Amino acid sequence: MSKSNAAAQAEGAIIVGGGIAGLAMAAALRNIAGVSNIKLLEASSENEFTNIRAGAAAQLGPNGLRALQFITSGDIVQKVIDMGGVLQGNVMMMPGGQSMVIPDTTQSDTGIPQVLVRWGMLRSVLAEQLPQGMILTGAESNVAGYKVSTQNDSEVSLIDATGNPLDMPSTPLIIGADGVKSTFRALVRKCTTNLAEDFDAAGGEDVTYGGRINVKAVVNKSLNEEYKSGHTYAAFAPDGSVAIFAGPAGDGLTYWAISIADSNDVTFLDDIPKGSDEKPEKKNLKEMLLAKLNTLNSDPYIKSVIDLIEQTPTDDVYFQKSQEAKGLGTHSLHSEDGRIVLAGDAAHAFSASYGQAANFALEDAATLAACIRDSENLKDALQDYSKMRLDRCIEMQARSAERAAKAMRGEQAEDVSKWIFQWEIA
């Protein structure tokens, strides 16, 4: 593959974060822009990183699957569709046992389905695209900034809070794919090269909590026969304080998710004893969740989901706070000096109400790689990327927040799925 000047200038790129955004970016830069010398730093251990049961499920739709097709080689998209559960409809469970079926027309509208796929399996499919040695797990997570390399002034070195270089090669470009509380977004937002001692807090400064805890998992069990295959189910407590979802996540696998609203500054997680890592202990989390659901009415659907939760191994239970990065649009997605570019939740964390986080991470990877492929200059490529992504991400954040807020009040927001799905790589 002949390389653009921008791609040659990106040789030696370091990606920080091995979630969907970081892995997709590594695959895209290699396969589309022809950047071969990439290192991906992931804070979690090798064991955590290779756990295909990590997380719960990601929902991929036509936009994310088109991006995935663009950035990967081989028939990965079909593999992902085959390993997940293709969505054919949503069923709203009403109080009193009635239900309303809303067919999912995505496949007939676009030729591409929506699929729910085990999150850890999606991560492993992306990781398999990368050559051995590219991903460094157990990476130090104390990155606080960067400074011009003493050996080569066209490159920078990652530094810790005291300004000392980390034990990493220097790089012309750092891709911040370090999730919601991104250090790199804080560096871009603050127009600085070192967050110093402030680095831990600065990463979350612009993040707001949406007032809901989402507890979820995928379990090796199918929903009972009375539930329609290929359909997701949803029920809401009358006051909107609890939402209960379940759906297909692949052969014999079911996804469940419980969304719990906090009230009066007391969060559901606060009541759960913490382990030595200061995180809520999963055994207690599961018990508290079951206790909460058992206070709701004894509807057969809720009982089926309680059964799924009981059958879920404790370690497989995953929780996420609803969070968004509020400053989206007040800064671009790259630093002015052209050293940092943001991707995935690090670039644009928004509410999960449309299930678009993984799709947008894949779109970011496809877009940045195409910009680098097509530019004569790395700085121009980053500018084009920010321009191409910002408006869409700002709109998605607003629509997701609107949908989440209305759902809490039991109201329906305008469904913008058609706009979301029509994305194509330019």
Cα torsion at 199, 18, 30, 126 (round to 10°)?
-160
Nearest residue (CB) to ligand FAD, 143 versus 375:
143
Q: Residues 288-327 vs ligand FAD: string with x where CB under 6 A? A: ------------------------------x---------
Backbone φ and ψ for 325, nearest 5 degrees, come out as -90, 110
Segment lying near ligand FAD (by CB under 6 A), choices 41-49, 153-161, 292-300, 385-393: 41-49
**Minimum distance from residue 42 beta carbon to ligand FAD (Å):** 5
Candidates 68, 244, 361, 371: give the one binding ligand FAD (CB under 6 A). Answer: 361
Residues 6 or more apart in contact with residue 53 via CB below 8 angstroms: 118, 120, 218, 313, 315, 316
- Residue 357 interacting with ligand FAD (CB under 6 A): yes
Pick 9 or 246: Cβ nearer ligand FAD = 246
Nearest Cα neighbor of 144 from 178, 96, 110, 112 is 178
Judged by CB under 6 A, which of 9, 12, 17, 77 binds ligand FAD? 17
Identify the residue among 13, 223, 325, 358 touching ligand FAD (CB under 6 A). 358
**Within 13 Å of residue 399, how many CA atoms lie on the same side as its CB?**
16
* Candidate list 70, 119, 385, 421; residue touching ligand FAD; CB under 6 A: 119
Q: Segment 169-198, which members bind ligand FAD (CB under 6 A)?
A: 177-179, 183
Q: Which is nearer to ligand FAD, 369 or 375 (CB)?
A: 369
Binder of ligand FAD out of 42, 262, 316, 384 (CB under 6 A): 42
Under rule CB under 6 A, residue 44 binds ligand FAD: yes
Interface with ligand FAD, residue 246, by CB under 6 A: no
**In the complex, what is the shortest distance from the CB of residue 371 to ligand FAD, in angstroms, rounded to a whole number?**
18
**Residue 7 touches ligand FAD, criterion: CB under 6 A:** no
Minimum distance of ligand FAD from residue 50's CB (angstroms): 12
Work out how close the CB of 24 gets to ligand FAD at its nearest, in angstroms, rounded to a whole number: 8
For residue 238, count CB atoms less than 10 angstroms from its CB and return exposed for 0-12, middle for 13-18, buried for 19 or more: exposed
**Half-sphere exposure for 269 (CA within 13 Å, toward CB):** 18
Q: Closer CB to ligand FAD, residue 9 or residue 309?
A: 309
Q: Is 112 in the site for ligand FAD (CB under 6 A)?
A: no
Q: Which of 7, 10, 13, 19 binds ligand FAD (CB under 6 A)?
A: 19
Query: What phi-psi label fits residue 418: left (phi over 0), alpha (psi between -120 and 50 degrees) or beta?
Result: alpha
CB nearer ligand FAD, residue 33 or residue 158: 158
Longest dimension (CA), the chain: 71
| Contacting ligand FAD within 380-419 (CB under 6 A) | none
The correct pick among 54, 305, 340, 396 for binding ligand FAD (CB under 6 A) is: 54
Contacts of ligand FAD in 203-222 (CB under 6 A): none
Using rule CB under 6 A, residue 56 touches ligand FAD: yes
Contact track, ligand FAD, 127-146, x by CB under 6 A: ------------x-x-x---
Kindly state whether residue 115 participates in binding ligand FAD, applying the rule CB under 6 A: no
Interface residue list for ligand FAD (CB under 6 A): 16-22, 41-44, 54-58, 119, 139, 141, 143, 177-179, 183, 318, 344-346, 352, 357-358, 361
